[in-house]
Amino acid sequence: MRTAWRILVVDDEPVMCESLAAWLREDGYHVDTAASGREALELSRSTEYAISFVDLKMPGGIDGIETMMELKKLQPEASVVIITAYATVDTAITAMKEGAQEYIVKPCNPQEISLLVSRIIKVKHLERENQILRRRLTGRYRFHDLLSKSPRMQEVFQLVRDVARLRSTVLIQGESGTGKELVARALHFSGDRAGKPFVGVSCAALAETLLESELFGHEKGAFTGAVSQRKGKFELADGGTIFLDEIGDISAKLQMDLLRVLQERRFYRVGGAEEISVDVRVVAATHVDLAAAVREGRFRDDLYYRLNVVAVHIPPLRERREDVPLLARTFLERTARELGKEVDDLSEDALRLLMDHPWPGNVRELENAIERALVTSRGAVLTADDFAFLRVPAGNGTGWTVPTHLPLHEVEHQVIAATLKRLDGNVKETAAVLGIDRSTLYEKLRKYGIER
């Protein structure tokens, strides 16, 4: 186990180099030596060293500190120990500020150096073990880009695996931020259609006429602005999968058009006379309760049954809190790498805070929270303080000054926009919090031009 670690000794004096190398070899390490900074960098390009001992004063070319800084660029994980004489201890302390792990003054006490080496190696061991363990764990809980150890999500993964090879239409229901598109992608990429296109459309983003041409394409001159013929998403997805997100938001006319496509797998481009037939698997998703929308007469029941052949329910994050630490650590690792921050863990109190948070915006909110905490954090570990922004209670009356001389519609506009934003665009929750029903909320969103 121990022999897996390699150590590099860099010193222009051969006797220094060799005596330290010999001593470390007796301790069971593989040791390479370099007589200059240049040689050390050459070696580090091809070999990974757990520790590099670098002499501070090397004549000509690059000195010890420069060598250390270049080594760190090549191998950020490597620990550098500066070797120095009494006369240059001050410089060695500067080296520590530049990222040296430790310094030793030669001639060095054997006990000191032995403790130093074993301490660094022990940390490396732990890091390596943790990494292996973590990779093994996340591997077990990973399904495409989804990560969960909750039994309910494992059932979702299994269902997706079971139906991936079929052409059956799938309806994915879950609150916003639960990863509906990721489930749709997993469905596509674990089936026979994986090599064919996966085309996503957000039905809520577009006005009715635009959405129609987006889905089915249009002929030249079909409407003002249709300067050339254009293929729709259904055609583009031929052989593959079309993912219709926010299906609960489409108009009555589009509901009818979609129903026809689902029944016949044929349609006309907008303004077209030629019938187009496609082989497309339809996966639809919604964060609204479609069954309720059917009962309320806002959604066609025949379309609902066509869509709901296979139903996938993604539980909200607050119903699978066991996933919070797993997801938080995964997001932390990834985002820290992207931001170039050396933060590698969450403190106990931070985890507790995250576990207790209701996460109305679900996994996406958690991901955003980790990113936000990382951006402002200073330590190597994220603490509860880094997540202070989560503690602000939503809708709590304190600290709010009632504005006067403001048109009432403006107050309504602002309250709706702010609430919706705080709840990550979740219309259902926003309506509930504001004490109005969803159709009213939709109406007001349209009226004030509030985007989700």
Partner 1 sequence: MNGVLVVGMGAVDPDLVDEAAAAAALWGPPIERIPPLPEPEGARDAGRGQWAAAPFLKNLNAALPAGALRILGVTERDLFVPVLSFVFGQAQMEGPAAVVSLARLRPEFYGLPPDPPLLRARARKEAVHEVGHTFGLVHCPHESCPMSLSVGVWQVDRKGEAPCRSCAALARGRAERARRR
> Under the rule (CB under 8 A), what is the footprint of partner 1?
3, 13, 15-16, 19-20, 22-23, 25-28, 83, 106-111, 113-114
Judged by CB, which is closer to partner 1: 20, or 186? 20
Residue 15 binds which one of Zn ion, partner 1, none, with CB within 5 to 8 A depending on kind? Answer: partner 1
Cα distance between residue 115 and residue 118, in whole Å: 5
**Least distance in angstroms from the C-beta of 27 to Zn ion:** 7
Partners of residue 312 on adjacent β-strands: 172
Q: 10 Å Cβ neighbour count for 211?
A: 24
Instruction: Tell me whether residue 102 or residue 245 sits nearer to partner 1 (CB atom).
Output: 102
Instruction: Return the number of the residue (26 or 90) whose C-beta is nearest Zn ion.
Output: 26
45 within 8 A of 70, measured Cβ to Cβ: no
DSSP string, 332-362: HHHHHHHHT----EE-HHHHHHHHHS--TTH
Choose between 28 and 379: whose C-beta lies nearer to partner 1. Answer: 28
> Of 13 and 77, which has the nearer Cβ to partner 1?
13
Assess contact for 77 and 49: CB atoms under 8 A: no
Whole-number Å distance between alpha carbons of 149 and 53: 43
CB of 34 to Zn ion, least distance (A): 24
Q: How many residues bind Zn ion (CB under 5 A)?
A: 1
In whole angstroms, how close is the CB of 55 to partner 1 at the nearest point? 10
Closest approach of Cβ 93 to Zn ion, in Å? 31
Q: Which does 107 bind (CB under 5 to 8 A by kind): Zn ion, partner 1, none?
A: partner 1
What does each C-alpha distance from 327 to 50, 134, 146, 185, 302 come to in angstroms?
A: 30, 12, 10, 19, 38
CB of 114 to Zn ion, least distance (A): 10
Q: How far is the CB of 20 from Zn ion (least distance, A)?
A: 14
Rounded to 10°, the helix 64-74/37-46 angle is 10
Helix (H, G, I), strand (E, B) or coil at 245: strand
Q: What is the separation of C-alpha 187 from the centre of its chain, rounded to a whole number of angstroms?
A: 19
Distance in angstroms (rounded) separating the CA atoms of residues 118 and 87: 27
Tokens 């040296």 map to which residue?
Answer: 100
For position 111 contacting Zn ion by CB under 5 A, the verdict is no
- State the minimum distance, in angstroms, from the CB of residue 60 to partner 1: 21
CA dihedral 232, 291, 304, 200 (to 10 degrees): 20
CB of 113 to Zn ion, least distance (A): 13
Dist CA 329 CA 245 (whole Å)? 28
By a kind-dependent CB cut-off of 5 to 8 A, residue 428 interacts, out of partner 1, Zn ion, none, with: none
Q: Which is nearer to partner 1, 68 or 113 (CB)?
A: 113
- 18-37 residues near Zn ion, rule: CB under 5 A: 26
Which residues does 121 contact at the CB level (< 8 Å), separation at least 6? 2, 5, 50, 51
Kindly tell me which of 15 and 273 has the beta carbon lying closer to partner 1.
Answer: 15
List residues bridging with 431 in a β-sheet.
none
Question: Least distance to partner 1 from the beta carbon of 22, Å?
Answer: 7
Query: What, of partner 1, Zn ion, none, does residue 273 touch, CB below 5 to 8 Å by kind?
Result: none
Whether 320 and 332 have beta carbons less than 8 Å apart is answered as no
- C-alpha 210/C-alpha 205 separation (Å) is 10
- Judged by beta carbon distances under 5 to 8 A according to partner kind, the member of Zn ion, partner 1, none in contact with residue 402 is none
- Say how far apart CA 324 and CA 359 lie, in whole Å: 10
Nearer to partner 1, 111 or 398 (CB): 111
Tokens 């059932």, residue located = 155
Q: What is the smallest separation between the CB atom of 23 and Zn ion, expressed in angstroms? A: 8
CB count, 10 Å around CB of 384?
Answer: 18
Write out the H or E segment, with its range, that includes residue 434: helix 427-434
Minimum CB distance to partner 1 smaller for 117 or for 211: 117
- Residue 84 carries which DSSP code? E
Q: Give 17 or 346: the residue with its C-beta nearer to partner 1.
A: 17
Site residues, Zn ion (CB under 5 A): 26
